Amino acid sequence: MRRLRALLLRLAGLFHKGRRERDLAAEMESHLQMHIEDNLRAGMSAARARRDALMKLGGMEQTKETYRERRGLPVLEAFTQDLRSSIRLLRKSPSFAALVILILALGIGANTAIFSVVNAVLLSPLPYRQPDRLVMVWMSNASKGYKTSPVSGGDFAEWKAGNSVFEEMAPSWDSLYTLTGAGEPEFLIGYQFSAEYFRVLGAAPQLGRTFLPEEDRPGKLECCGGTKKYPDPHHAISSLSSRGYYSPYVAASVCIAARSHPGLSCSARRLVYLPKN
Amino acid sequence: MGDKADVWQGTLALMVLKTLQALGPLHGYGIARRIEQTSGDLLAVNYGTLYPALLKLEQEGYISSEWGTSDNNRKAKYYKLTRAGRKQLEREAREWEQTTEILARFLAPGKESA
């Protein structure tokens, strides 16, 4: 409390410097005169009386300087002085200042952009329930130089049957589609999953439900779309289903917005999740 | 002359408060002289160091100041104790008494029970 009070008063000490300086000078002067008078009374010569008084004071200017340090906040004062002089310098050469500011802005902007990418891609974990327990398993063909190639349905079935390593396995294939018949044809990136895929990821749809096991069968191909183009998923569903290219039922059943699924988002304008069949 | 002790850090404020309590409102020069006299000329007071200390005490609200006239009809800034200053003086004096008492026990010869 006392400290806060002192701090505030020291802040206030940064203002009205002229008056405070006059005050200090007057106080020092009266101190000196009183001391000199005492010295004279004690029998010193005028010159000696004055010198002695000044010495005991520790020098007029030194005393004033230590007083000033306590009166204001020296760090802040030095800072404002630096600030003022740099602003003056910048004003003197505006084109140089503009260039410097531009370079700084570009530098800061570039760094921010790169950091946000690094942060999203490398630093922050994927938004799944237990990202550290998720792995992707691929086929590889060393002789052809394929390190990661998709697995066939039959192979996957065997993997799953013989699995003793993972809690659960779910396949995923991506494929490309063209949506036609609704005005402009549209390019879609689709992912085919088995019914348990979303459970394995620990991801839940923002709206509706995910595939049911019985929809995970041949001949049950239905889908839905969750898009960035339609910020409101409800709107996306109604506008898609009303065109009749998606069954209304399934359109409502799965709709995972790309932003809740950044691991799967892509440059295509739409993401479609399809049951495996 | 050279073997006089400097005022220990932190004790100057206490001396100032005590002086103001004893003598009432007083200017900086008077306080400095009084401290020197009370010490029996054992302390070398750099009068200049007194003013930042006075300012600090004033900022903390323990003393207040106003311009007045000295006995010799000279303009001088007079400092006086505030209520908070009186309390602070009591508190600090108590602490010092305790400290010196403890030290005295340590330094007293042949009194250890061990």
pLDDT at residue B100 above 50? yes
**How many angstroms separate the most distant Cα atoms in chain B?**
63
- Please measure the distance between the N-terminal and C-terminal CA atoms of chain A and give it in whole angstroms: 73
Please name the member of A5, A9, A63 whose beta carbon is closest to the beta carbon of B48.
A63
Please name the member of A5, A27, A34 whose beta carbon is closest to the beta carbon of B59.
A5
- In angstroms, rounded to a whole number, what is the distance separating the alpha carbons of residues B56 and A224? 74
Helix (H, G, I), strand (E, B) or coil at B87: helix
Block residue for tokens 């799965």: A254
- In angstroms, rounded to a whole number, what is the distance separating the alpha carbons of residues B79 and B70? 12
What value does the mean pLDDT take over residues B21-46? 87
- In angstroms, rounded to a whole number, what is the distance separating the alpha carbons of residues B83 and B20? 12
Contact A207/A252 with Cβ under 8 angstroms? Answer: yes
The DSSP annotation for B15-42 comes to: HHHHHHHHH-SEEHHHHHHHHHHHTTT-
Residue A15 distance to chain B (closest CA, Å): 15
Chain B CB contacts of A5 under 8 Å are 59-61
Please name the member of B27, B28, B55 whose beta carbon is closest to the beta carbon of A71.
B55
For A13, other C-beta atoms within 10 Å of its C-beta total: 19
Ranges in chain A, pLDDT < 50? 219-271, 276-277
pLDDT of residue B58: 92
pLDDT of residue A172: 78
pLDDT of residue A256: 34
B interface test, pick of A57, A62, A64, A71 with most B CB neighbours within 10 Å: A57
Amino acid type, A183: G
Q: Which helix (H) or strand (E) holds A146?
A: strand A146-149
